[in-house]
Amino acid sequence: MEYIFSLEFIYLIASVTYILGLKMLGHPETARRGNLIAAAGMTIAILGTIFLYQGEVPQLIYYLIAIAIIIGTIIGWVVAKKVGMTKMPELVSLFNGMGGASAALIGLIEFHHYIGDQLSIITIIAGMIIGSVSFSGSMIAWAKLNGTMNNPIRLPMYNILNNVFLIGILAFGAYIVFSGTESQLYLYLLFFAAITYGILFVLPIGGADMPVVISLLNSFTGLAAAFGGFLYGNMVMLTGGILVGSAGTILTLAMCKAMNRPLSNVIFGAFGEGAVAAGSSNTVLGSIKEASASDVAILMNYSRKVIIVPGYGLAVAQAQHIIHELEQLLESKGIDVKYAIHPVAGRMPGHMNVLLAETNVDYDKLVEMEDINPEFQSTDVVFVVGANDVVNPAAKNDPSSPIFGMPILDVENAKHIIVNKRSMKPGYAGIENELFYNQKTSMLFGDAKAALTKLVNELKNM
């Protein structure tokens, strides 16, 4: 009985729930349940730490812990309940930054407790540097995603500056470790240097690469948490950190592959809006054809197969519910409907999956890029809603294009292409989309929600 209620056993249970929850997050149908299971494991670990810890703890500490948990729970609950789907990437960045800050604070607090223990000091310094970079980088990512910082800022020779600054931080950290210094001044100088590097690291990055950056920073936070678990000999922190770090790294590599960008280029290269826009061309590629909601309704009504390509514009307009209604209406007419999901559509990995899952779209209808591309040739109508760069044929046929080589959805192979956009403004890459000038393409201008509502009403009258 004593073993059953031991802290080690509680941590084992929590670790198992993390692994199980992460496994279930791999499929939309089980993701919600997996998230709840992992959250339950975290709750068990927190309660176990509070009530089963064997050391002597002043009563005041328990009061402070209780207050922190109550405040954090209220803030987290309210923010998560009220956040809109378009703001979800910002929330992910914010929460991830808080995790990095926690890891950095552990290093600041515990440093003087482990003077003389070189292995522990290495762990503390590594966790503090990584956590600090993750915190400040995530805050800049948050500011970019919510529009506070709309344009990337590039210092002269920023790439060289960043790399030299990083080497300097690592060298300074190594000096603190191997010199055996007890200087708090050096520790705080290293802390603020890491904070500064996190800012410099994310500052030049444009919105086009934000999905990669979010994944990378998420892996940093996991790694920092794992260092904390190693320091304390805490299995549940170690397990959670390793899972988050490894999952974030795998996702980062997947995002890089989806954007045809090597990871080394993400970390050390010039990338983002500024980089691609510099080599882009915004010359008009021809004339466009504009269609009305009635025109599109007639075309869809006599189709056998329709593929919908969702993009960030769909999320901005909060049109996920009306697009689901359109899907159901078309299916009631005997039309086969699927959704084509590009890995980096939206502002974060899986953004479109989450958006459509909110409306209870059948998971089997969400088809990944590799599986849906062969189907476009047999598709009567492709309906692109708010997507841009992920359907730009220049990625395949224009070697001078900054997005050349990026895997895209082959929508140009369909018989008819309908593109819903507010205007002809370029996407994140800052270049014209030659798909819009294709002879098979018709533009349905307007806010996605308003345009889709008109389209649904037209179809209902047929």
DSSP string, 28-73: HHHHHHHHHHHHHHHHHHHHHHHHH--S---HHHHHHHHHHHHHHH
pLDDT at position 268 is: 58
- 219 and 329 belong to one structural domain: no
Distances 186 to 189, 199, 200, 330 between C-alpha atoms, Å: 5, 20, 21, 65
Sheet containing strand 416-421, edge to edge, reads 366-368, 336-341, 305-310, 381-385, 416-421, 441-445
Neighbours of 157 (CB within 10 A): 9
Q: Which of 198-207, 284-293, 394-403, 426-435 bottoms out in mean pLDDT, i.e. has the lowest?
A: 426-435
Provide CB contacts within 8 A for 109, sequence distance 6+: none
Mean pLDDT of the chain: 85
- 442 and 306 belong to one structural domain: yes
In this prediction, residue 173 has a pLDDT band, given cuts at 50, 70 and 90, of: very high
- 297 and 377 belong to one structural domain: yes
Provide the annotated active-site residues: 389
Instruction: Count structural domains, the chain.
Output: 3
- 174 and 143 belong to one structural domain: yes
- 223 and 334 belong to one structural domain: no
Q: For residue 328, tell me if it sits in a domain.
A: yes
Q: What is the pLDDT of residues 182-236, one digit of tens each?
A: 899 999 999 999 999 999 888 877 666 677 888 889 999 999 999 999 998 888 9
Domain interval for residue 452: 293-460
Of 229, 246, 277, the last residue of a domain is 277
Distance CA 119, CA 116 (A): 9
Distance CA 232, CA 37 (A): 25
Q: What is the pLDDT of residues 246-260, one digit of tens each?
A: 988 888 888 787 777
Q: Which residue has the higher pLDDT, 132 or 425?
A: 132
Q: Which residue has the tokens 């500011």?
A: 143
Q: For residue 285, tell me if it sits in a domain.
A: no
- 263 and 317 belong to one structural domain: no
Q: What six digits make up the tokens of 48? A: 């176990």
Q: For residue 286, tell me if it sits in a domain.
A: no
Q: For residue 208, tell me if it sits in a domain.
A: yes
Of 57, 82, 107, the last residue of a domain is 82
Q: For residue 262, tell me if it sits in a domain.
A: yes
Percent of the chain with pLDDT over 90: 48
- 362 and 267 belong to one structural domain: no
Q: What is the pLDDT of residues 344-353, one digit of tens each?
A: 787 677 778 8
Distance CA 125, CA 107 (A): 6
Q: For residue 287, tell me if it sits in a domain.
A: no
Helix pair 235-258, 210-232: axis angle to 10 deg: 160
- 77 and 127 belong to one structural domain: no
Helix (H) or strand (E) holding 293: helix 293-301
- 253 and 298 belong to one structural domain: no
Given a cut of 50, whether residue 69 has pLDDT beyond it is yes
- 324 and 242 belong to one structural domain: no
Q: For residue 22, tell me if it sits in a domain.
A: yes
Q: What is the DSSP string of 77-104?
A: HHHHHH--GGGHHHHHHHHHHHHHHHHH
- Checking DSSP bridges between strand 381-385 and strand 366-368, what pairing results, if any? unpaired
CATH number at residue 310: 3.40.50.1220
Helices (H), 333-414: 351-357, 369-372, 394-397
Q: What six digits make up the tokens of 2? A: 């004593």
Q: For residue 244, tell me if it sits in a domain.
A: yes
- 444 and 354 belong to one structural domain: yes
Of 250, 277, 304, the last residue of a domain is 277
Distance CA 370, CA 376 (A): 11
Distances 27 to 24, 63, 316, 367 between C-alpha atoms, Å: 6, 40, 25, 12
- 194 and 220 belong to one structural domain: yes
